[in-house]
């Protein structure tokens, strides 16, 4: 990876730029840093400001290859978990392609393409495309600057690669962190003059029924009476386990590998475990990402039979949210996609 990055930096490997505003979101670690919630935040921010975003993702663990432009008949198998989530939840244009240059080229040539910005999901290591604005997310509890490259650590490239970022966002920050603690953390790594740093904490939404989203559970008033069987196939379920444990009578996690493709046998085992609890005060909970894989026609009828609730995961800024929002919106509304917004 070091040699590869050097070849890009020296201009030996070609970096492609496009005449469209683009925001890249990525991380240095193997996962679990909060890329997807950041992409969701950017989508919501753009839509709230009457801007049309398009998302381009790799489509990790999908069963298709090449360029796929999301259509109503697609699912997580054709798009991947996260792209299918973005498409089904926000009603925006979404495309997947493992070759980001090809993906960008095809998107901007789509008939009727009118998006003001393309959000590039998980693009940090894909240096063949040069986003106009690059956001690095890092888990506050496992920051990139104190980690090591695989196999001795969790990083996909050296910590110094953070220098490429325009914006660094530390996610999963303790909600009660002080300004002094944040300032101290920034001093722990070499922040470049053009870079901006923000801190976010995880904010969970209201539990909703998997097959009937209008049916919800009030976290404070109702969850305190319930035992929770939590199943998930995500990179890091621990924060969610901790959160639910603060409200529920008890939490009983069932963990699967990240991006696990659920089968009928999996659901039957979950239901059997659920039924083993004699109390009637109990529910099954999973994540929105997992819900995308549950919407497989082969198992969806079984999902409808089960009392599965979904816990949305969102971001909330500890401070300076308006500054972050202004950076994004001002960039998208600039005439030139590669203007020096942050004065490098």
Let me know if residue 342 belongs to a domain. no
Note the pTM of the prediction, 2 decimals: 0.91
pLDDT for residue 344: 40
**Structure token digits, residue 233:** 């196939």
Same domain membership, residue 213 and residue 184: no
- What secondary structure does DSSP assign to 19-65, as a single string? SSEEEEEE-SBSS-S-HHHHHHHHHHHHHHTT--EEEEE--TT-S--
Neighbouring C-beta atoms of residue 212, cutoff 10 Å: 9
Same domain membership, residue 187 and residue 235: no
Same domain membership, residue 33 and residue 124: yes
Same domain membership, residue 170 and residue 139: yes
Let me know if residue 8 belongs to a domain. yes
Separation CA 257–CA 168 (nearest Å):
28
Mean pLDDT in order along the chain per 10 residues (344 residues): 69 88 96 92 97 96 96 95 96 97 96 95 93 96 93 92 96 91 89 94 93 88 93 93 95 96 97 96 96 95 94 92 97 79 46
**Measured in whole angstroms, how far is the alpha carbon of residue 194 from the centre of its chain?**
25
Let me know if residue 340 belongs to a domain. no
Find the CATH number of the domain harbouring 236.
3.40.50
Same domain membership, residue 139 and residue 126: yes
| Nearest-10 crossing angle of helices 35-48, 81-90 | 20
Domain ranges, residue 303 = 206-311
User: How many domains are contained in the chain?
Assistant: 2
Separation CA 123–CA 130 (nearest Å):
9
Find the CATH number of the domain harbouring 148.
3.40.50.300
Let me know if residue 343 belongs to a domain. no
Burial bucket for residue 10 (CB in 10 Å: 0-12, 13-18, 19+)? exposed
Same domain membership, residue 217 and residue 184: no
Q: Tokens 């909600």, residue?
A: 175
Same domain membership, residue 269 and residue 186: no
Let me know if residue 337 belongs to a domain. no
Same domain membership, residue 158 and residue 283: no
Let me know if residue 344 belongs to a domain. no
pLDDT for residue 334: 87
Same domain membership, residue 174 and residue 26: yes
Separation CA 126–CA 169 (nearest Å):
19
Let me know if residue 102 belongs to a domain. yes
Task: Tell me if 342 sits within 8 A of 192, measured CB to CB.
Answer: no
Same domain membership, residue 10 and residue 129: yes
Let me know if residue 339 belongs to a domain. no
* 3-state SS string for 190-245: CCCCCCEEEEEEEEECCEEECCCCCCEECCCCCHHHCEEEEEECCCCCHHHHHHHH
Same domain membership, residue 251 and residue 180: no
Same domain membership, residue 152 and residue 243: no
Separation CA 106–CA 185 (nearest Å):
41
Cβ burial 180-203 (10 Å sphere, 16+ → b, else e) = eebeebeeebeeeeebbbbbbbbe
């Amino acid at each position: 990876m070091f040699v590869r990055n050097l070849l890009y930096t020296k201009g030996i490997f070609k970096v492609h730029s496009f005449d469209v505003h683009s925001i890249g979101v990525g991380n240095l670690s193997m996962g679990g840093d909060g890329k997807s919630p950041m992409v969701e935040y950017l989508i919501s921010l753009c839509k709230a400001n009457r801007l049309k975003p398009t998302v381009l993702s790799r489509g990790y663990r999908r069963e298709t290859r090449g360029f796929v432009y999301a259509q109503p008949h697609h699912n997580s198998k054709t798009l991947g978990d996260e792209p299918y989530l973005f498409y089904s939840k926000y009603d925006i244009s979404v495309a997947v392609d493992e070759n980001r240059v090809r993906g960008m080229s095809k998107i901007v040539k789509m008939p009727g393409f009118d998006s003001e910005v393309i959000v590039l999901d998980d693009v940090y290591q894909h240096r063949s495309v040069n986003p106009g604005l690059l956001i690095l997310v890092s888990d506050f509890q496992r920051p990139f600057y104190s980690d090591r490259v695989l196999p001795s650590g969790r990083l996909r490239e050296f910590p110094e690669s953070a220098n490429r970022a325009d914006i660094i966002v530390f996610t999963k920050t303790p909600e009660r962190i002080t300004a002094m603690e944040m300032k101290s953390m920034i001093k722990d790594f070499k922040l470049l003059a053009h870079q901006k740093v923000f801190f976010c904490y995880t904010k969970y939404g209201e539990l909703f029924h998997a097959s009937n989203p209008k049916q919800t559970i009030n976290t404070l008033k109702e969850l305190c009476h319930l035992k929770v069987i939590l199943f998930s196939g995500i990179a890091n379920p621990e924060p969610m386990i901790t959160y639910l444990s603060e409200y529920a009578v008890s939490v009983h996690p069932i963990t699967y590998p990240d991006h696990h493709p659920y089968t009928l046998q999996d659901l039957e085992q979950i239901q059997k475990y659920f039924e083993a609890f004699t109390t009637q005060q109990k529910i099954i909970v999973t994540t929105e990402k997992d819900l995308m894989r549950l919407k497989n026609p082969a198992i969806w009828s079984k999902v409808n039979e089960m009392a599965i609730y979904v816990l949305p995961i969102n971001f909330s800024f500890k401070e300076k949210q308006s500054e972050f929002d202004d950076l994004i919106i001002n960039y998208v509304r600039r005439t030139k996609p590669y203007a020096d917004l942050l004065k490098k």
